[in-house]
A and B are shown apart, each in its own frame.
Chain A
Amino acid sequence: MEQYIQAFSEEAITLLRNLPRVEIAKAMNILQAAYERDGRIYAIGNGGSMALATHWVADFNKTVFTHNLDEHARRFQAIRLPTTEEELTAWANDVGYDMVFAGPLKNYIQDSDVLIAISSSGNSENVIRAVELARSHKVPVVGLSGFDGGRLNPLSDARILVPTPPGEYELAESIHAIVLHIFTRYFRDYFAHVLLLRKEKQASNANVVPA
């Protein structure tokens, strides 16, 4: 049994060593730009990927600023879509499962926004529909995929592909969680640094004796 566990960790370690660092960096620049223009960030995915999307949204809206919630006049506006189970089931039941993300996204989307799409296969039709909607608005897409990247990877502006054998959801989703936590920690550290510099500056200004 230990060997079985070891085998999984070895596979995960190999994937982590080969993270698509340039694409992750591009994704963080896309998020930075959305923050600067006060745009919103939508996160979508099915099943485990939806759990990742929801978890990340909570982190981004709060944890990023957690020790300094009141120090930043502008915070992130990350939104998991659809926002309620009622909306999800209504779109699925009334229109079709393919529209559970694109349907609600159309209500919200503005040119200043960003979409984060998470799909291990990269081929979930409902995710692709939302990605196509975002692309038609020229809204940047951060795509987190596994397996061979499917259709999602080439449609994304930041192409975060975690290459696994087909069907290896556990590996793909585990590494996706780590990538999303890199986003969170990067911006947490960034905003803490912004605050530190601001306080340093205030302190040095306070020390200046007026002429």
Chain B
Amino acid sequence: MIISSAPMRISFVGGGTDLPDFYKQYPGRVISTAIDKFIFIAINHAPFNNCVAARYSVSEEVPHPSQLKNTRIREALLDLGIEKNIEIASFAPIPARTGLGSSSSFSAALMKGLYAYIGKRLDKRELAEAACRLEIDLVKEPIGKQDQYAAAFGGFNVLQFNADGTVDVEPLLLDFKKRMDFERCLILLFLGTTRDASSTAEQKAITPQNMETLKRMSDSVPVFRDALLRADFQGAGEMLLEAWTLKKRLDPAISNPRIDALYEIAMKQGAWGGKILGAVGGGCLMMLAPQQKRAALVKSLTTAAKAEGFAGACEIPIGFVQAGAEILTNCNGR
């Protein structure tokens, strides 16, 4: 039995600049942090079970991996040439498609575990690339690279996507005091509806107009980083508000009246700014606000979200973590 894990992430600024259409023309940048919500994958060698089993929200047992419905497990097994005698199960603390990058966390944990299963150990960069290859080249998802890197590396990072396809990972060296102060300014409200990562509004084709917006987003990443390093969380929040306003003006479809209403309530009660993680009408609403206003804000936002029809709305309390994709247990020998 092998057990691997990979964290989900919150991305603050720069989403969409991790797509090749953009970074082949201009350096893409994203600032994100791993959070204490993990996908776990358990991989079991089953020598007397002549099939392939995949157990996630459904349970599949098929004679050959090519018959699996789960695209990631199917393509990973085919790519690694694992054809039978294997059981793979996944566990998650939060439903899929919440805007927290969980599908790439799944891929990172899966690849970390499957490589260990065939006796190979991947370092963070090798793993990030393996997860990108799985999702982008094999499963053919029209997504970028930020989530796979965030899951593989863990921690708080500025990721830079270069024209040649390489990715620079610059850790944000926040001490524990700043990190925990920042955590306490952050509100993550799960709105209950779900989406596919590949359908997000950020993943649209590049036009001259959104090219300029994306350039501004990419350039604002180092400014956001410096605000956090100075512990200027208000400044960081105001940058999120600015980015939200700009993106909405260019593409009203990134929001809707229900989201706008919640955002407005948060701002009226003293929040500095925020964004939607995930796509239109769902995912999570993330707001930055003064610590002392946090508790009241969580309460009124939750109530308002329910009144707006987000029946499952609730706060997801989070902490930031350093851990990336890890092998937690490997009983298959060393």
Contact = CB atoms under 8 A, between A and B. Distances in A.
The 10 closest A-B pairs by CB, nearest first: A33-B322, A111-B327, A25-B173, A190-B176, A36-B323, A32-B322, A138-B121, A33-B323, A138-B123, A37-B326
Given A112-B327, A137-B121, A193 B171 contact: no
Contacts of B171: 26, 29
9 contacts: A110-B334, A111-B326, A111-B327, A112-B326, A138-B122, A138-B123, A186-B175, A189-B176, A204-B295
B176 A26 contact: no
Interface in A67-117: 109-112
Given A29-B173, A138-B123, 12 more contacts: A29-B155, A33-B155, A33-B323, A110-B327, A111-B121, A111-B326, A111-B330, A137-B121, A189-B176, A193-B176, A193-B180, A197-B184
Contacts, number: 53
Q: Helix, strand, loop or mixed for chain B's interface?
A: loop
A33 B175 CA distance: 14
Interface in B176-219: 176-177, 180, 184
A36 B176 CA distance: 14
Contacts of A30: 322
A28 to B, nearest CB: 9
A39 to B, nearest CB: 8
A142 to B, nearest CB: 14
B243 to A, nearest CB: 27
B78 interface: no
Contact of B330 (A110, A197, A204): A110
A58 interface: no
B65 interface: no
Interface residues of A, number: 24
B94 interface: no
Interface of A: 22, 25-26, 29-30, 32-33, 36-38, 109-112, 136-138, 186, 189-190, 193-194, 197, 204
Interface of B: 5, 116, 121-123, 154-155, 171, 173, 175-177, 180, 184, 295, 321-324, 326-328, 330, 334
Specify which of A36, A109, A136 lies most central, judged by the most chain B CB atoms within 10 Å of its CB.
A36
Contacts of A189: 176
Given A22-B173, A193-B177, A33 B122 contact: no
B11 to A, nearest CB: 19
A186 B330 contact: no
B323 A37 contact: yes
Which of A109, A111, A189, A194 is the most central at the interface, judged by chain B CB atoms within 10 Å of its CB? A111
Contacts of A137: 121, 334
Given A111-B121, A138-B123, A193-B180, A33 B324 contact: yes
Contacts of B180: 193-194, 197
Contacts of B154: 33
B100 to A, nearest CB: 17
A26 B121 contact: no
A186 B176 contact: yes
B322 A29 contact: yes
A64 to B, nearest CB: 13
Contacts of B176: 186, 189-190, 193
A194 B180 CA distance: 9
